[in-house]
Chains A and B, each alone.
Chain A
Amino acid sequence: MKQLDDIQLLEAIEKYLAGEMSASEVVQFETIRKQTPEIDQMVVEHDMFLHEMGYYANRKNFSKLSAETFHSLYNAGEWAPIDEQTTKFKVIQLWSKYKKVTAIAATVGGFIALFTSTLVMYFSPSLNGSQVLQLSKAIEVIKKNQQVQGHILNEVKTKLPENAKLLSGGSGFLIDTKGYIITNAHVLKGNGAIVINSLGQELNATIVYADKAVDLALLKIIDSDFNQPKSIPYSIRKKTTELGEEIYTLGYPRNDNDIVYGKGYLSAQSGFEGDSNAYQIQISANPGYSGAPIFNNNAEIIGIINTRQKQAEGVAFAIKSSKIFDLIEAAQKEQTGEKTVRIAKNMSASKSSDRKKQIGDMKNFIFNIRSYN
């Protein structure tokens, strides 16, 4: 009975505060309110609560409206992230903006900055040209030599040889603790290569072997700064992978050498136009992802991203991981002098089921690749 009274009392307070009482009810209610301090206190408190609740409701409803408006405009193609703006005009516009940022950074920091930026996506005519995009980057190097008050304050050195011209870039991953890295052949447009780890450290590398038909290449880090790891926290899957399996990737699609994580699923057992050497995957893949490993939930590499379909959003293709073994075999046949590459030695898939932990372990083994002449 007590609770029923409480419910009625609250109902009355809400009615009163909402101004829904008749004039006589108001008079009656206000008399009770004056005579009973507890009720008066409840009215004050509930008024404050309703005020905050009203504010909360308004804001929540508006946030929803605003977010939905953004989404429908975004889906209608009103805007796209800069990475996806492909027309030449926009690229040039973008480039001039980046140049401005560099100039300001260089003025203030006062160092020789090496600045690279994505300029154009590369269309390969041999790969059914207009329908499939390779995901490597074409790169332009700008060296800024900015002096502050007549002095060079600091200097950042790059391992690129002097006068080297950066041509392309993408991602790659370690398959042997001795420093062997797998990437796409199309990522390497020049004769030389440097690789950059997730901490931003540059290392010199040589191109050991490349197979343009399969679009895979083998690099080796040759640099005294390279600390050979004891083991590699993932393995390479020899068998094919099931349809619908959840996958993820780590690569370098951005200009700032920050490694980027992406998640998706395997959407077909064959690649573009039925290519049996590839998988079709559903993942958001931007230029720079070329050569990035595709992992399954057991930290096994199942493929290497290399292309995406131009028209269909999120549709990308990956070379099957079994092709890595074929590539190593071919490389060893051709290069008898080359020390044997030992895939799967010292490789053990990270046992951790925690994705964040897995990624934390893996990211040091995935490299940003730059090729130059």
Chain B
Amino acid sequence: MTYLSINILKAEYNEIALLKGLANNDSKAVETLYKNHFSTIQHFIENNNGSFDDARDVFQEAMITLYEKVQSESFTLTCQIRTYLFSICKHLWLKRLQQMGKYSTPLSTQEESISVETDMEAFEKKDAAYAIMDRALNSLGEPCKSLLEGYYLNKKGMQELAAEFGYTNSDNAKNQKYKCLMRLKKLFFSQYNIGD
């Protein structure tokens, strides 16, 4: 006699472990998610007017959505990862088809999906702030962009950055970083609505 319940528990446990790994940027967890779920999305997109590259882009966006969802402490996932990822991809792909004016028939799929409207709305808001920051950083020019990315994205210390960018000491680097940061903040807040 075998205990079926153990298998089920184990599956749930694996999914929770996977999501914890994802929240901590564990590359093994990211790889597992790709291995387990990308081909489903690939087939879905390729069977619905899309290309392999479309599938790659949509899945990437769904991964980011899931990643951000697991970052929040109050995070709960009420369905399997498979269903969640598929639902996000379906939502994103429908939207893209509509933008291209190609959407005319119901999408062909046998996959289960859930409503992800609330999650997507929250994501889109964050997405807007992300885009503003991205534009602001990219319009800074060098060395400002790399200097600030080194400090805020790659969490490098001022000493390390001074060496990397050829400043004679870390005070010079700090000075430069300050000037760059002021420009970035100005660019960022000119487009960012504090009330929103």
In chain B, what residue has the closest Cβ to A68? B27
Interface of B is mostly: helix
- Inter-chain residue pair count (beta carbon < 8 A): 102
Would A66 and B52 count as touching, CB distance under 8 A? Answer: no
Would A97 and B47 count as touching, CB distance under 8 A? Answer: yes
Contacts of B68 in A (CB 8 A): 59
Give the distance in Å from the alpha carbon of A56 to the alpha carbon of B59 in the complex. Answer: 19
Picked from B38, B47, B49, B130, the residue with its CB within 8 Å of the CB of A55 is B130
B175 proximal to A (CB < 8 A): yes
Per the 8 Å Cβ criterion, residues 122-136 of B in contact with A are 126, 129-130, 133-134
Binds A, one of B3-11, B29-37, B90-98: B29-37
Would A109 and B25 count as touching, CB distance under 8 A? Answer: no
Give the distance in Å from the alpha carbon of A97 to the alpha carbon of B71 in the complex. Answer: 37
Would B60 and A70 count as touching, CB distance under 8 A? Answer: yes
Picked from A3, A53, A108, the residue with its CB within 8 Å of the CB of B152 is A53
Task: Report A148 CB to chain B, min CB distance, Å.
Answer: 13
Task: Report A331 CB to chain B, min CB distance, Å.
Answer: 38
Given A7-B174, A11-B174, A66-B63, decide whether A58 and B30 contact each other with a Cβ distance below 8 A.
no
Contacts of B130 in A (CB 8 A): 55-56, 59
Task: Report A289 CB to chain B, min CB distance, Å.
Answer: 16
Would A81 and B51 count as touching, CB distance under 8 A? Answer: yes
Would B126 and A66 count as touching, CB distance under 8 A? Answer: no
Given A65-B25, A69-B34, decide whether A60 and B153 contact each other with a Cβ distance below 8 A.
yes
Task: Report A313 CB to chain B, min CB distance, Å.
Answer: 14
Picked from B49, B51, B153, the residue with its CB within 8 Å of the CB of A61 is B153
Contacts of B192 in A (CB 8 A): 52
Would B60 and A6 count as touching, CB distance under 8 A? Answer: no
Picked from A58, A70, A79, A100, the residue with its CB within 8 Å of the CB of B108 is A100
Chain B: residues with Cβ within 8 Å of the partner, total of: 45
Picked from A7, A53, A97, the residue with its CB within 8 Å of the CB of B175 is A7
Would A10 and B181 count as touching, CB distance under 8 A? Answer: yes
Contacts of A66 in B (CB 8 A): 30, 60, 63-64, 67
Give the distance in Å from the alpha carbon of A197 to the alpha carbon of B108 in the complex. Answer: 28
Would B46 and A82 count as touching, CB distance under 8 A? Answer: yes
Per the 8 Å Cβ criterion, residues 41-69 of B in contact with A are 42-43, 46-49, 51-52, 56, 59-60, 63-64, 67-68
Would A65 and B106 count as touching, CB distance under 8 A? Answer: no
Give the distance in Å from the alpha carbon of A78 to the alpha carbon of B55 in the complex. Answer: 14
Contacts of B48 in A (CB 8 A): 101
Interface of A is mostly: helix
B105 proximal to A (CB < 8 A): yes
A226 proximal to B (CB < 8 A): no
Interface string of A1-27 (1 = CB under 8 A from B): 001001100110000000000000000
A114 proximal to B (CB < 8 A): no
Contacts of A261 in B (CB 8 A): none
A32 proximal to B (CB < 8 A): no
Picked from A53, A55, A98, A108, the residue with its CB within 8 Å of the CB of B105 is A108
Task: Report A285 CB to chain B, min CB distance, Å.
Answer: 15
B159 proximal to A (CB < 8 A): no
Task: Report A129 CB to chain B, min CB distance, Å.
Answer: 28
Would B133 and A52 count as touching, CB distance under 8 A? Answer: yes
Would B194 and A48 count as touching, CB distance under 8 A? Answer: yes
Would A57 and B152 count as touching, CB distance under 8 A? Answer: yes
Give the distance in Å from the alpha carbon of A108 to the alpha carbon of B105 in the complex. Answer: 7
Would B27 and A101 count as touching, CB distance under 8 A? Answer: no
Would A62 and B42 count as touching, CB distance under 8 A? Answer: no
B156 proximal to A (CB < 8 A): no
Would B64 and A59 count as touching, CB distance under 8 A? Answer: yes
Contacts of A73 in B (CB 8 A): 31, 34-35, 38
Give the distance in Å from the alpha carbon of A79 to the alpha carbon of B105 in the complex. Answer: 27
Would B129 and A52 count as touching, CB distance under 8 A? Answer: yes
In chain B, what residue has the closest Cβ to A254? B51
Given A52-B129, A59-B68, A65-B25, decide whether A10 and B47 contact each other with a Cβ distance below 8 A.
no
Contacts of B39 in A (CB 8 A): 79
Could you jot down 15 A-B contacts, CB within 8 Å?
A3-B178, A49-B185, A53-B152, A55-B126, A55-B130, A56-B130, A56-B137, A59-B68, A65-B30, A70-B38, A81-B46, A100-B47, A101-B47, A101-B48, A105-B105
Known: A59-B130, A66-B63, A105-B105. 6 other contacts (CB 8 A): A10-B178, A45-B189, A56-B134, A59-B68, A67-B60, A78-B35
Residues of B within 8 A of A (CB): 25, 27, 30-31, 34-35, 38-39, 42-43, 46-49, 51-52, 56, 59-60, 63-64, 67-68, 71, 104-106, 108, 126, 129-130, 133-134, 137, 152-153, 174-175, 178, 181, 185, 188-189, 192, 194
